[in-house]
């Protein structure tokens, strides 16, 4: 299973619902719900086109940094979940704040 599965198909890093960014940053401060979190690495395909061939190792992303320390999976800004699911609030987000980490679980 890929480390980062993502339904945000209008992101430049997304190929077949898997993230191919070099690194993904999830943020959300003191989130209490998954909708308080977001993927800071989102880039709108309309502006950045397809970047899934630009990765260092051309494989799916397995580098994940997360600042949401209110999540049970967060230990020292690393995510200990086997994998995460990233979704969006609407069909095609225009800005990163419309995305979220659906795997978030409040401590």
| Nearest approach, Cβ of residue 52 and ligand SF4 (Å) | 9
What sign results for the dihedral spanned by CA atoms 43, 45, 49, 50? positive
Select 30 or 101, whichever has its Cβ closest to ligand SF4: 101
Footprint of ligand SF4 (CB under 6 A): 4, 6, 8, 11, 13-14, 19, 21, 24, 26, 37, 39, 41-42, 64, 66, 68, 71, 73-74, 79, 81, 84, 86, 99, 101, 103-104
| Nearest approach, Cβ of residue 7 and ligand SF4 (Å) | 8
């Amino acid at each position: 299973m890929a480390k980062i599965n993502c339904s945000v198909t209008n992101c430049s890093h997304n190929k077949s619902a898997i993230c191919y960014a070099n690194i993904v940053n999830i943020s959300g401060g003191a989130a209490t719900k998954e909708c308080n979190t977001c993927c800071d690495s989102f880039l709108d395909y309309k502006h950045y086109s397809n970047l899934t061939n630009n990765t260092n190792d051309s494989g799916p992303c397995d580098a994940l940094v997360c600042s949401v320390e209110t999540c049970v999976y967060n230990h020292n800004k690393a995510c200990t979940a086997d994998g995460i699911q990233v979704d969006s609030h609407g069909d095609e987000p225009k800005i990163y704040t419309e995305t979220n980490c659906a795997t978030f679980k409040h401590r």
